[in-house]
Chains A and B, each alone.
Chain A
C-alpha cells in the first residue's frame, strides 16, 4: 500500500471513530466519494475494530503462555485410572506418555505378573478407522515373538478406549542411555546387533517399524535391547498410509507445522520425508541414524524446524562420525555411512546384511585384542578373558546397585521433621552452620538483599549485612563456622566476600565477570579455589580458578550446557554440577568430575526439570538437591553417590529451592515456598470487624459460594492434594466436611438458590466441564461436554446457569437449564473473568478489560455499559440489589475489595486488610445473599527458611 493511501485511510478511520455509529455511514459516503475501494478498506477496519476485542491487548509472552496452557493436557486421566481395574488388569502407576498414548504399569490379576498397558490416545479412539488399524497392526506385531521385541500379550478395549497389554520392562530407553555422549564401541555393537536381530524377525514377517528411534529402543536392566511400538507408527497422522501410496500431503503437513513432529523427523528416511512408498529399507536408514547417535552422541541431521531437518536428511552429508568420536573404528563408520545412504538402492538391502557387517566387526575386534595380547604373551585365551572381564564389570555394577539397596541402616532423611525458622515470607537463600546452631538467611525485598543470622535455639535473628543491591548467592559457613562466605551478584559481576558472623566488615576476596545467568560460582571447602560455570555462545564450561591460574575441567557444546548449581565434595576432590539440556524441553541431570581434571561421569540418569541447589553429604556418599520436577513441584532430593539413586526427602504442597547441610549431615535447611489460603468474613460497612473463619491450609483457594441459608461452601484440598472437596463453614462453629475424597479437581462452586444444588467446574471426566451436584456432592451430573468449559455461575432461582468456554467456535458466555438441555450463547466475545448473574436473574454482567456490560439474561445487546478504570484490579461481582459492583484493588502488594455504584460517585472500600504478604484472589470473593457480609479467601504466598532434621540418626 502506498503511504499516501494509507494516510488517507488513517485519517478517515480516526474521524469516523469520533462519530456515533449512525453518523458514520453518511460521513464515509462523503469522505470516500467515488472511491469504492477506499470506502471498503475503512469499512473493513471499522468492522474489525468491533470484533477485535482484547486482541493483542495483553503482552505477547502472556499470549504464548496461554496457548501453552491450553495445549498442556489437564490433570485427571492418570489420577482417574490409578488403582482401577481395566479388564483383569489393576493399574498401578503411570510410567510414561507420548504421542502414542499413556502407558501404565499394571498387575495382571489372572496371571499375577506385571504388564505395561498402553492406551490409544482418546482422539484416535474416537476414530473407528484408526482403531481398526491400531488393532490390525498390534495383532500382526503381537504375532512377533522375539527376545528383542517387546512382547504384546493382548489387545483389548475398555470403555471405548483401545489398549495393548504388553511385557513390562525395567530399565531405560536408549534415548535416556545416550544423553549427548558417545557410547563405548562394544556397547554400540552389542545394542545394534540385538536391535537388528529384532528388526530382522519383523521384516521377515513383512512388518516395518517406521519409527525406529532411541526412544523406541529399550535397554532392560539385564542389558537386553527390546524394540517398542512395532507398527504403531503407522497411526501417526504425519506418516504415510498403510497402503504405502505416495502421500506428499502428509509430509507437507509436517513441514508446515514446524516443531510439531520434531524429535521424530530426525530419524526419518529420505523416502519417508518425501512421502514415498516404504519398504523395510526405511527402518535400516533410521537404524543408521540411531547408530550415528550412539557413536557420536549427536544427531546426523539437524535443524531448528522440521523443514530444516527434512532438508538436511534429503541433501546434507553428515559430519564424519570419527571426527566427533576419534575412538570410533573405521569399519563402524563405514557401516554407519552405508546405512545412511540417501538412495535406498545403495543402502544395506536387508537387516541380515547389516547384521553380518556388525558381527564381522565385533569378531574382528575380539581378534585384534587377542593379537595384541598374544604379542604380550597372554595367549589365545585373552579373548575369552576379555569377555569375562566385561561380565565382571556388569556384575560389579549390579552389585553396586544392590549394595545401595542393602546398605545397612537407614538412609539420610528417611524419617524427618520440618520446622519453620523464619517468618518474613521473603527468604531467598539460606545456609546452616557446621554445628547446626545457626542459620544464615537472605531476605530479598524490592531488589535489595540483606543477610541475617538466626540462632536456632533462641529464635533470635540478627542482621549482619544491611540491604544491598543485587542477589546474594553461594552462602556458606566456613572456618569452623566463624565466618560466612557469600557471593554478591550485581551488574554481571560476582564478588565473593567473607564476613565474621559475630559482626564486622565484609572482606572481598574475589571478583568475577559473570554475565551468564545460568552460570555460577562455588568456593572450594578450603576457600582456596573457585569453581566457575560460564558460557560463551553455545559453549559452556566449568573452570577452576585458584587466584592465578584458570583450568577448564569440563565443557559442553550445543543444546546441553553446564549450569549452576555446582558443589565441591567435602574432600575438595570432586565437583558435582548440573547439566542442563533444553532440547525437547528443559531437563537437568547431575554429573561429577575430578577437580584435578579427567573424564566427567553422570551421577545416575535421573532428570529433573530444573536443578536449583546442590550440596554434598559430609561423608561424600551422597548429595542433597533442591530441584523442580515441574513448574509447580519443587522438592528436596537425596542422591546416592556415585550410584545416582534418587529419593525424595520432601513431598508436600510446598516448593523448595535452596538447601544447605550441617557438618554431620543430620540437619538441613531449605527455603520453602508456601501457599496458604484462609477465609475471612467481613461485615459490609464495618471492615474493622473482619475475622478469619477458617484455619485450613488452602481454604477457598479454588472458589467459594454462599448458600441461601447464609452458609459458605468452599473448596479445600483432600488427601490427594491436587483435588478438592467441599467444606461448609457456618457462622461460629467448626466447618463441616460435605463431600468425601474427590480424586479429581473441583472448583468454582456456585450455589443454585434454594434448589439444594450447586454447579461447579470439575475434571472428573478428564477435561474441565461444568457439573451439578447436591451440596453434599451426591447426585453429581455432568452438564456440559465441550472442548473445555469454565467459570459457572448459577441463577438465583436455581433453574439455569451461565458458563464460559474455550472452544474457539463457541467463544463467549453460554446459558443452559440446570436440568441440562441445549445451551444458548448469550455473549459472543471472549472474556477472561466470570460473568455474574444479577440478584433478580434478569441480567448478566460481563466484564471486559475496559468495560462492564450488563446484558439481558436471555442474551442480546448490552442495556448498560460502564467504563472500568484500568487501575482497578479484577472485577469480582455485584451487590445484591444490582446497584453497585465490586472490584479488587491492589496497593503495595495488598489487595482489598472496593464497591462502586453503577451511577458513578466515589468508590467505597469494603475491606481494610493491610498485612503485606497477603493477597486477595479475584475469583474468591462472594457477597452473602442478604448483602450483609463479604466472604473473602485471602492468600499468602511466602518464602521462608525451614529446618529439616533427620530422625534416623540419633
Chain B
C-alpha cells in the first residue's frame, strides 16, 4: 500500500499549495485508509497480528514534511493545517458513519454508534470535535495541542515544534486538555 501514502502526500502537497479541491479528494483516500485499518483491527481481534497500526496518513504527513526535496517554507504551518484537515475529514466521516458501514445491522442504528455508557476508551469524534471547539474558546493552545496530536497524529516533539513551545508545555497542555475533554464528553454524553 505504499502508493496510498504517496497519493496522500501528493494530495496534501497540492492542497498546501492552494488546491482547494484537495479536501474532497483526500476524503476517499482517508476513507480507504480507515477501512484498511478497520479491517486490520478485525483481523487482530480474530487473532491475526499482521498489522502495523501506524497510519498511512500520519506516515504520509511525516514523509512529506521530512522529505528534503520538498520546499517547506513554513513547516509548522503545514503541520497545523494538515492536522486541521484531518480533523475536518475524520469528523465528517464519523458524522456520516452509516455511509461507512457495509451492510446493515439494525442493532447499531439507534445511537450515533456510541456506547451510551461512557465515552472511554474511544470517544465519538463528532462530540469530541464540538468539545474541542468549546475548549478553543477559552484555551486555544490546548485545543491546538489536541488537534495536532489526536487528529494529526503528531508526536509530542512535533507538536512542540509546530506550536513553537517546549515539549513540557505540550505535555502539560495535553494532560489537562485530555482529561478535561474526557470529563466533558462523559458529562454531556
A residues whose Cβ falls under 8 Å from a Cβ of B: 1-3, 6, 10, 13-14, 17, 44-45, 48-49, 51-74, 97-100, 121, 123-124, 236-238, 253, 256-262, 304-305, 428, 444, 447, 469-471, 489, 491-492, 515-518, 535-538, 580, 582, 584-586, 610, 630-632, 675, 701-703, 715, 745, 747-748, 761, 763, 768, 788, 790, 808-809, 811, 829-830, 919, 921-924, 939, 941
Contact = CB atoms under 8 A, between A and B. Distances in A.
B170 interface: no
Nearest to A788: B45
Contacts of A3: 138-139
Given A61-B34, A585-B99, A631-B36, A491 B105 contact: no
B162 interface: no
Instruction: Count chain B CB atoms within 10 A of each CB in A1, A52, A73, A761 and give the residue with the most.
Output: A52
B66 to A, nearest CB: 10
A60 to B, nearest CB: 5
Given A259-B98, A747-B47, A924-B49, A72 B120 contact: no
7 contacts: A13-B176, A61-B34, A65-B37, A65-B38, A73-B102, A99-B104, A428-B3
B11 A517 contact: yes
What are the 6 A-B residue pairs with the smallest beta carbon separation, nearest first?
A747-B47, A921-B49, A808-B115, A65-B37, A517-B7, A259-B96
B90 interface: yes
Interface residues of B, number: 101
Given A60-B87, A61-B90, A6 B106 contact: no
Contacts of A492: 10, 13-14
B153 A59 contact: yes
Interface in B53-107: 53, 55, 57-58, 63, 67, 69-70, 86-87, 90, 92-107
Given A51-B120, A631-B39, 10 more contacts: A48-B179, A48-B180, A58-B53, A64-B34, A65-B38, A123-B106, A237-B106, A259-B99, A491-B69, A517-B25
Given A516-B25, A517-B10, A701 B108 contact: no
B183 to A, nearest CB: 4
B163 interface: no
B110 A73 contact: no
Contact of B45 (A48, A62, A630, A790): A790
B38 A56 contact: no
A49 B180 CA distance: 8
A517 B86 contact: no
B87 to A, nearest CB: 7
B179 A257 contact: no
B182 A61 contact: no
A66 B38 contact: yes
Given A64-B93, A535-B21, A761-B46, A99 B106 contact: yes
B48 A702 contact: yes
Given A55-B121, A123-B106, A939-B50, A61 B99 contact: no
Nearest to A748: B47
Contacts of A808: 115-118
A74 B105 CA distance: 11
Contacts of B122: 63, 66-67
Contacts of A923: 44, 47, 49
B105 A745 contact: no
A387 to B, nearest CB: 41
Contacts of B34: 61, 64-65, 68
Given A1-B138, A69-B38, A808-B115, A52 B178 contact: yes
B189 interface: no
B24 interface: yes
A62 B40 CA distance: 10
Nearest to A97: B103
B86 A830 contact: no
A253 B98 CA distance: 14
B36 A489 contact: no
B125 A63 contact: yes
Contacts of B181: 55-56
B83 to A, nearest CB: 10
Nearest to A469: B69
A674 to B, nearest CB: 11
B28 A55 contact: no
A515 B19 contact: yes
Contact of B97 (A67, A491, A788): A67
Given A53-B121, A538-B24, A60 B151 contact: yes
A271 to B, nearest CB: 22
A64 B94 contact: yes
A260 to B, nearest CB: 4
A722 to B, nearest CB: 9
A73 B120 CA distance: 22
A517 B48 contact: no
Nearest to A261: B98
Contacts of A537: 20-21, 24
B33 interface: yes
A98 B104 contact: yes
B99 A44 contact: no
B37 A585 contact: no
A830 B90 contact: no
A62 B38 CA distance: 8
Contacts of B14: 492, 515-516
Contacts of B150: 56, 59-60
Given A259-B95, A808-B118, A585 B21 contact: no
Given A489-B10, A701-B50, A260 B55 contact: no
A745 B44 CA distance: 12
A580 B3 CA distance: 18
A444 B2 CA distance: 8
Interface in B106-143: 106-113, 115-123, 125, 128, 138-139
A763 B46 contact: yes
Contact of B35 (A45, A631, A715): A631
Contact of B128 (A56, A65, A238): A56
B97 A584 contact: no
B160 interface: no
B181 to A, nearest CB: 7
A788 B105 CA distance: 15
Contacts of B128: 56, 60
A582 B30 CA distance: 12
B102 A65 contact: no
Nearest to A514: B10
A586 B34 CA distance: 12
B39 A535 contact: no
Contacts of A53: 120-121
A444 B183 CA distance: 46
B119 A45 contact: no
Contacts of A260: 97-98, 109, 112
A953 B100 CA distance: 44
A699 B155 CA distance: 36
Nearest to B181: A56
A54 B186 CA distance: 14
A702 B24 contact: no
B105 A71 contact: yes
B9 to A, nearest CB: 9
A939 B50 CA distance: 7
